[in-house]
Structure formats: structure tokens, C-alpha cells
Amino acid sequence: MPTRIMIIAGEASGELYGTLLARQLKQRWPNVNLIGIGGKGMEEAGVELVGYITGAFGLIEAASTLVALRRMYKKITGLFKTLRVDVLVLIDFPDFNLRVARSAKKHGIKVLYYVSPQVWAWRRGRIKTIGRLTDRIAVLLPFEPAVYAQHGIECEFVGHPVIEEITGHPIDRDALLAGFSLNPQAPVVALLPGSRHSEVDRHLPVMVEAVRLLKARHPEFQYLMPLVSHLERNRYAGSLAELESLGVVIVADRALDVLAVSTLAVVASGTAAFQAAIIGVPMVVIYRLSAFTYYAGRMLIRVNYINLVNLIHDAEIVRELIQDEATPEMIATEVERLYRDDEVRARMLNVFGRLRAMYEHKDPTKRVVEMITEMVRE
């Protein structure tokens, strides 16, 4: 009977990691049976999807998908009763995945948590729960093993899959600029508003106005915006039309291509900001939430920064414009500062280079496949 692995990814970034994992599992075991929750990438990599990813985020935003999540939970836990699952791989998405893990353990299924929840930022009480409900834990940040070790729980820093995505993505800058119809002699500003509807809802309007301000001050700037394909473009028709009228080139997906040709970037905090750092694009990070989610989060979250570059170095290497600071004027001002100040850019790029060196010798997907292999053999 072939080995059966279940992979659950709840969001776009986790779905990328699930896709990379599925591909390597298929290479290791061509007959492996892969099932789970994810998106198009995982499906194309050979995962039989029993549910599709959700774009929910935040306390209010998540409420709109609770019914769908409950339905998925019942479906997954029902499968535990009828299917033999050798290893369950959980990718981030903790509120859902920890409930699934609890059910899996009751059915004797081995659990690997890949991309552990951000317990170092908030709700540290989950650490012991995660330790009790999992057999292995793989983390992306170098300081996370020490956080778990304080509670007597082992986990392994495996690196970040973004490195694999970037190193496996060949770049021809001249060809890309030509394909985007951009002038190779003029600066390019990348605009990355996020991958969730809740993020794009809040970031797109301020980006429109920031471009309007920059357009008046720097007519030489060119603009590129990659928009993830699972978003409902009709929802943003007005803002997208305004951006295009300002000369912004909008493309579906292709964030790596956009960053590869960019001089500077305005990026919603998340995976894209880490991609920008590894590629070496000076940036300003922005983030806006609903007022309730933001103020509730301020009472719960224990960290000083939200961007991974800053978190890893415990310093504001990249300027973070959060909530009320994420205004068009402040975004435009920070982009201008990055453009004009050679020293600021050089310091930022120096840290980005050290960050890449910290990660580039790691092969996270390969290591997670090895961990799954060990768990199956056990």
C-alpha cells in the first residue's frame, strides 16, 4: 500500500511551501498518495485537494470564513476515520491546524508542523500545546529553536523555502524589462499590496495616492504591481483603473520577476517582503488592519517589529509604516528617502546580503522530506 501524506496549507505563502514539498515528495516516492488542503500549485504538484485555501486574516476578517473552515475541519477529521494517513504535515495556519492536529493524534497519526506558528510574538501558551500535539517541528527563523527549548521542546531551523523559489527562478533582467515595456534606464518602483483580500482592500487605495504623489515629484519613476491571481479583480476595478491611468503596469502573479527588475519597493509585510530582501531590493514595508484587530493585537503581541528582516536582526533595518503611519504621504516620503540617500540604501543592502548568507546554504524542502521519511520509517 503506498505511503499517504496529508498536507494542509491555509494561505498563499503556505501553499507555495506545500507545492515545493509535494514536488519533492513525488520525486522521492513516485507512488506516494498526497491529499490535503491548498491551492492550484499544490494540485498541479500532485496533491488531491479536499479543500481550498482561504484568504482570511485578522479577528474580523476571519469571521467571514468560519462556516467554510468548520466544513473543512469536519471533512478532514472525517477522513481520519476512513483513510490511513502516515504523516500529517501542517503549514502555519495555527487556529485551524492545531485543532486538526488534536484530532490526528487521537487517530494515531504522526504530525509534522512545518512553519510553526509565531509563538515568539504572541500566545506563547501555545508552545506546550504544539509540543504535545506534534512529533516533529520545522521552523523558518534562526531564533525559534531557542524559544521552544525554553519549554523543553525540540524543533529544527530548516531555512526558508523562499530561497529555493528564488534560486530556482532564472532571471533575464533585460528580457523582463522589455516584456513589461519598461525603460531600462529609468527607476522601477514595485508595489506589492499583499495576497489576501483584507490586505489589498486596505493597501491598494493608499498605494494609488502614494503613486499620485510620487508621479508629481518624480516623473522618471516607473511602476510595476504583481497581483496574485486568486484575488477577485472586479473587487478592485476602480483602484486598478486609477493605477493604470497613472502608468502602473499590473501583472498577474510574477512577484519574483517584478522584484528582480525593481529599484525600490513598497511591500505589504509578509513573504513578499522577505523575497525583496533576499533578492536585494531596498524597500519600505507597510501594513494596515481593521481598527479592532490592530488595537487587540497591540495588547497581545510582544515583538517590536513585524517584518522578518527586522525581527531577525532585532532592529529597524527596513522602515515599517503600520496602521495610521501607512499614509500616501509617508510612503512617498520614504520611497524618496531610499531613492536619494545612497548611504541608507547601502546599509540596507549590506544587511540583506548577510541575511541571504544566513539562509542560502539551507535546503528546507529537502530537509522536511527527510523528516517525513524518518517519521514514516519509525
User: What average pLDDT does the chain have?
Assistant: 90
pLDDT, residue 54, reads: 57
Indicate the length of the chain as a whole number: 378
SS3 annotation, 182-216: CCCCCCEEEEECCCCHHHHHHHHHHHHHHHHHHHH
pLDDT over 70 for what percent of the chain?
Answer: 91
Q: Which of 48-52, 93-97, 244-248, 298-302 has the highest mean pLDDT?
A: 244-248
Which of the two residues, 118 and 106, has the higher pLDDT score?
A: 106
**Residue 57: is its pLDDT beyond 50?**
no
**Residue 296: is its pLDDT beyond 90?**
no
Q: For 89-128, give one letter per residue: b (16+ CB within 10 A) or e.
A: bbbbbbebbbbbbebbbeeebbbbbbbbbbbbeeeeebbe
What is the tens place of the pLDDT at every residue in 339-351? 999 999 999 999 9
pLDDT, residue 64, reads: 54
Which segment of 161-165, 215-219, 264-268, 293-297 scores lowest on mean pLDDT? 293-297
Residues 149, 138: Cα–Cα separation, whole Å: 13
Which of the two residues, 220 and 378, has the higher pLDDT score?
A: 220
Q: What is the pTM of this model?
A: 0.85
Residues 263, 189: Cα–Cα separation, whole Å: 6
pLDDT over 90 for what percent of the chain?
Answer: 72
Confidence of residue 304 (pLDDT cuts 50, 70, 90): confident
**Residue 330: is its pLDDT beyond 50?**
yes
Write phi, then psi, for 289 (nearest 5 degrees): -130, 175
**Residue 267: is its pLDDT beyond 80?**
yes
Confidence of residue 294 (pLDDT cuts 50, 70, 90): very low
Which of the two residues, 12 and 102, has the higher pLDDT score?
A: 102
**Residue 11: is its pLDDT beyond 90?**
no
pLDDT, residue 126, reads: 79
- Helices within 218-363 (DSSP H only): 237-245, 255-260, 271-279, 291-300, 308-313, 328-340, 342-359
What is the tens place of the pLDDT at every residue in 243-258? 999 999 999 989 999 9
* 209 burial type by CB count under 10 A (0-12 exposed, 13-18 middle, 19+ buried): middle
**Residue 322: is its pLDDT beyond 50?**
yes
Instruction: State the greatest distance between any 2 C-alpha atoms of the chain, in Å, as a whole number.
Output: 66
pLDDT, residue 70, reads: 86
Confidence of residue 56 (pLDDT cuts 50, 70, 90): very low
